[in-house]
Amino acid sequence: MPTITISEESLAILQRYARPFVDSVDVAIKNMDGLIQNSAAGAASALPAETSVAERRIDPRDLPKLTHTKLLDASIGGASLSRPNWNRLLEETVRRAIRQVRDFDKLRRICPVNMIKGRKNDEGYTHLADIDISVQGQDANGACRGVVTAAQALGLELKIELMWRPKEGANFPGERGRLHIPAAKRTAA
């Protein structure tokens, strides 16, 4: 049997045509060939549901390893972020949180990331001038933990769509994930 070497990007493409823990690379290539043959014959070219690109539902109480992820879409409190990334989402969450709790000490309790009052522009901190708080940048895991914790504490709706990059060290290379925390229902006082 011949041995082939392919790039991680090509492997991620192949994984779209394979059922995890079931199909081998050989089966994935045959699936792709079948789609090409059916397409050439005029048949529908959609993959069967069980071999489509995987999308994981992410449980906010049990976050997976998010190293090598890219945010595809994100919103907090109903406001979508343009060009989302983990730290931009964290910064927007801090803005919304301080406006809701109005107390820096409460903010620090509900959003477990390094932050200080005032301006700090070294050691990875970014100053958010509109609220005069500096927040230290986080990796994907730390940023997501901070955002999820704050959203749950404040009852804010949180929607995140992400993709694990096809890289070594990624938890689910080439797969997509979706995390959703619904807004908490408010009761009239």
What is the pLDDT averaged over residues 93-115? 96
User: Can you give the residue ranges of every domain in the chain?
Assistant: 8-51, 55-181
How far are the Cα atoms of 16, 101, 123, 166 from residue 126, in angstroms, in the given order? 38, 21, 9, 29
Percent of the chain whose pLDDT exceeds 90: 67
pTM recorded for the entire structure = 0.70
What is the pLDDT averaged over residues 107-124? 96
**Which pLDDT belongs to residue 46?**
44
**Which pLDDT belongs to residue 168?**
92
Average pLDDT, the chain: 85
**Which pLDDT belongs to residue 189?**
42
In this predicted structure, which of 20-24, 30-34, 166-170 has the lowest mean pLDDT?
Answer: 20-24
Higher-confidence residue of 31 and 150: namely 150
**Which pLDDT belongs to residue 29?**
74
Q: What is the rounded CA–CA span in Å between residue 32 and residue 18?
A: 9
**Which pLDDT belongs to residue 51?**
41
pLDDT classification of 20: cutoffs 50, 70, 90: low
Which pLDDT tens digit goes with each residue over 36-94? 655 555 544 444 444 445 689 999 999 999 999 999 999 999 999 999 999 999 999 99
Q: What is the rounded CA–CA span in Å between residue 17 and residue 27?
A: 8
In this predicted structure, which of 6-15, 20-29, 75-84, 136-145 has the lowest mean pLDDT?
Answer: 20-29
Which pLDDT tens digit goes with each residue over 136-150? 999 999 999 999 999
pLDDT classification of 28: cutoffs 50, 70, 90: low
Q: What is the DSSP string of 107-137?
A: HHHHS-S-EEES---STTEEEETTTTEEEE-
Tokens linked to 99 = 């406006």
What is the pLDDT averaged over residues 4-24? 69
